[in-house]
Amino acid sequence: MSKKLTVDGREVSFTDERNLLEVIRKAGFDVPTLCYRSDLSIYGACRMCVVEIEGRGIQTSCTVPPEEGMKVTINTERTRRIRKVVIELLLKNHDRECTTCERSGSCDLQNLSNKLGVKQLRLGKREEFLPLDESNPSVVRDQNKCILCGACIRACKEIQGHGVLDFANRGSNTIVTPAFKKDLSQVDCIYCGQCVAHCPTAALRIKSDIDRTWKEIHNKDKVVVAQIAPAVRAAVAQKFNLDPQKTVQLIAAALRRIGFDKVFDTSFSADLTIMEEGTEFVTKFTEKKNLPLFTSCCPAWVRFAEQKYPQYLSHLSTCRSPQQMFGSVIKELLPKELGTTKENIVSVSIMPCTAKKAEAVRPEFQTNNIQDVDIVLTTQELIKMIEEAGIDFAHIEAEEFDSPFGLFSGAGVIFGASGGVAEAAVRTAYELITKKKLEKVTIKEARGINTLKEIILNIEGQEVKIAIVNTLIEAEKLIERLNKGEVYYDMVEVMACPGGCVGGAGQPQLRDCCSRSGIQDRADDLYEIDVALPIHKSHENEDIKKLYKEWLEKPNSHSAHKLLHTHYKNRKRINSEGLSFGKNSEHALMNIEICIGSCCYKNGSYKLMDKLNELIQKQNLQDKVNMTAVFCFENCSSGPNIKINGEFIEVKPENAEEIFNKYILAKVK
C-alpha cells in the first residue's frame, strides 16, 4: 500500500523502498552519493547523501527507512556545507592529478566537486604516496586515489563471495588492501573487476592496453586482427544511443579507420564453442559421466573453480572460451590465408570483461611463447580509442566483417547474456540427440538477469536439468547444494558478472539508479539481434561447417581438441610464503600454521588467529610457539584449517581456548 512523505515541500509516494534515498531518487530528486550502490549493502560512510528531516535534524538518507508523514529537505545551508566539507576532506588525502587520471571526466569525486562548486581547497594536499599495485594483467590498485567508501570490499564479498579486499589499520592510517598488504597477484583474486566497476574514483581501474595496441597498429610489419565480443555491441549501442543491430558494423568500420587490418566477430567462435561444448555435453549426458557439465566460457569462474573447487575440474568443459578459440584459429589458420607467419599476426580481442586480460596470458594459451591472443581491450578502452582517433562514430558508414570467419548465428550472439550459452547449447544439443529439427529456438526460462534460473527440458522423453547462475556467490551456493546432494543438474552455466557478460566490469559504467535495468536492456538487445539474424543455431553456420571440413574434421576430433580445448589444474595454493606473527624462534617446540585463504577466512580463521595469538602471549610462549598464516592448505572442504606440527586439527573459532589447552599448552609446558 502506498504511503506519502514530503521532499522539499512536495508530496512523494513510496511503497517498499529500502531507504529514504531511493524514495527521493524515485521522485526525480538527486542527492549526491559516493559510497552508496543499490546492488550492495548499505554502508553510510561517505556522508554525502545527508538531508534534514523535521524533528530529527541531519541524517544520511541511505541509512534511514522512509516513514509516513516525514518532512525532508535536501538542500539546506547545513546540508550543502556538510557536503562541501566532506569533499574537501576527501580531496585533502586524494592524488589530484586529474588531467592524467584514467577516470578524469567519469570520476564521481571529480564530478561532485564540480557540481557542489568546490573551488578552493583549504586543507592542503597529500604528501605521502603509496606504491601502485600493477602486479596482475587486469586491474591496477592505487591507494592514493582511495576515498575509503568500501564499495570494492562490499562488491567482492556480496557479488562474488570472495573477500579479497578489506580495511586495514585505523584512523588516518586506514587503507583498503588484500590480506597482509599483499598484491592482488599474490592472493586468490579472480580479476572479475567488479571492484573496479563499483569504485567511484580510479583507486581501482582497468589496466590499459591502449598504448600497446597503437604501437602494434603503427608497426607496418604486423597484421593486426581484431575480434569483437557479442556483449560489446550492446554496451556501445547503449552508450551512443544507437540501434544495436547496426552498431557492430559501425564498430567494424571504426576499427578499420583506427588501423586494424582484419576485423572479426567473436560470435563466430561462440558458434564454434557450441559445436565443441554441445558435442561434449551430448557425450557426457549419454554416458552419464562427470555430470553436471559446467560451462567454461567465463575466465573468472574458471579461475574460481581451480582455486576453490578443484574436485569439480573433471566436470568443467574442456572447451576454451570463444576468445581463446578465435585466438587459436587466427594464429593457426589466418597466416596460411594471408601468406604470412603467426609471429607477424597481432591478435586483439575486444571484450566486456577484465578477467579476459588475465585469461590471455595463461600459459595454456601459448605456443612457443607466442600468445594466441596478444592484447585484450575492454569496451571502455575501445570507446577511448575511437575518441582518440577523432571518429564521429554515430555517423560513419557501416561495414561488414572479414572472411573467412565472417558469418555467425544468433546463438553465438546471445552468449553475452546470462543463460545465452545454455540456450545456444540446447539448440544444437537437441538436434544432435534427436536428429530432428528444433522449431522453437527460444527458451524464455533461460533469460533474464536473475542470479539463479533452473530449467527442466524434455528431449524425446529424456529429462535434462539445467541451472544458470551469474555472480560467484550464487555459484558457490549452488555447488554447496550439489555437494550435499540437495540438487541434481545435467548442465550448469556459470558467469561471474551480474547478468552475464553484458554486466562485465569492462563495459561502460551505468548510473547506479538504473544499473539492473541497464544490464537487462543490453541483454534484450542481444536477443533482438538473434531474432533479426537469418540463422539461430550454431551448427547451421556455413563458415563453421567449412572450418570443420577443411581443418578440424569434426567436433571433438583430435584436430579440434588440439586447437580448441585446454586443461585445468588445482590452483588453491596461491602463495605458499607464510606470514609470521612476531619473530619466529629457531628453538620453538611447536609450529602452528593457519590458513587465511577465502574459504577459511569466511569460516573465521582471522578470529581463530587472534585468539590463539592472545593465548600464546598470555602464557608467555612466544619463544616456544611459532605461528604462521598461510594462504592455502588445499583442504577447502572444511575450515578454518590449522596445522600443529604438520598435523591437521579440526577447530572452530569458538573452540580456540580448548584447542590451545589440549594441543599447545599441554605439550610445551
Cell 592524488 belongs to residue: 95
DSSP reduced 3-state for 525: helix
Q: Known catalytic residue: 277?
A: yes
Q: How far apart are the first and last CA of the chain?
A: 68
As beta bridge partners, residue 463 has: 458
Q: Please tell me which residue in 102, 280, 423, 593 is annotated as part of the active site.
A: 280
Please give the backbone phi and psi of residue 313, each rounded to the nearest 5 degrees, phi first.
Answer: -65, -30
Amino acid at 291: L
The verdict on whether 553 is a catalytic residue reads no
Q: Which of 52, 277, 306, 381 is catalytic?
A: 277
* 280: amino acid identity, one letter: E
Residue with cell 534484450: 524
Q: What 3-state class would DSSP assign to 661?
A: helix
Number of neighbouring beta carbons within 10 Å of residue 567: 8
DSSP summary character for residue 321: P
Is 207 designated active site? no
φ and ψ at residue 592, rounded to 5 degrees: -110, 130
Strand pairing report for 223-228 and 204-206: unpaired
The answer to whether residue 399 is catalytic is no
Which residue in 145, 182, 284, 356 is the catalytic one?
A: 356
- How far, in Å, are 504, 541, 564 from residue 275 at the CA level? 25, 10, 11
3-class SS string, 406-462? CCCCHHHHHHHCCCHHHHHHHHHHHHHHHCCCCCCCCCHHHCCCCCEEEEEEEECCE
Task: Count Cα atoms within 13 angstroms, Cβ side, for 538.
Answer: 35
Nearest-angstrom CA–CA distance, 301 and 191:
10
The CA–CA distances, whole Å, from 213 to 321, 353, 356 equal 22, 17, 16
Grid coordinates belonging to 564: 580448441
88 assigned to active site:
no
Residue 260's SS3 state is: coil
User: Of 364, 387, 480, 650, which residue is the catalytic one?
Assistant: 364
CA angle 370, 378, 515 (to 5 degrees): 150
DSSP, collapsed to helix, strand or coil, labels residue 424 as helix
Whether 297 sits among the annotated catalytic residues: the reply is: yes
- The radius of gyration computed from the CA coordinates of the chain, to the nearest angstrom, equals 27
The sign of the torsion formed by the CA atoms of 189, 195, 197, 201 equals negative
Cell numbers for 495: 558467469
Grid coordinates standing for 111? 564530478
Following DSSP, what letter does each residue of 369-411 receive, concatenated? TEESS-EEEEHHHHHHHHHHTT--GGGSPP-PPPSSS----HH
> Is 280 annotated as catalytic?
yes
- Catalytic residue from among 49, 501, 595, 599: 501
By C-alpha distance, which of 313, 207, 225, 237 is closest to 522? Answer: 237
Catalytic, out of 317, 328, 349, 538: 317
- In this structure, the strands spanning 223-228 and 262-265 are parallel
Is 317 annotated as catalytic? Answer: yes
DSSP 534: S
Q: Kindly name the residue from 158, 216, 306, 359 that is annotated as catalytic.
A: 359
Active-site residue (options: 297, 298, 319, 353): 297
Catalytic site positions? 277, 280, 297, 317, 356, 359, 364, 501
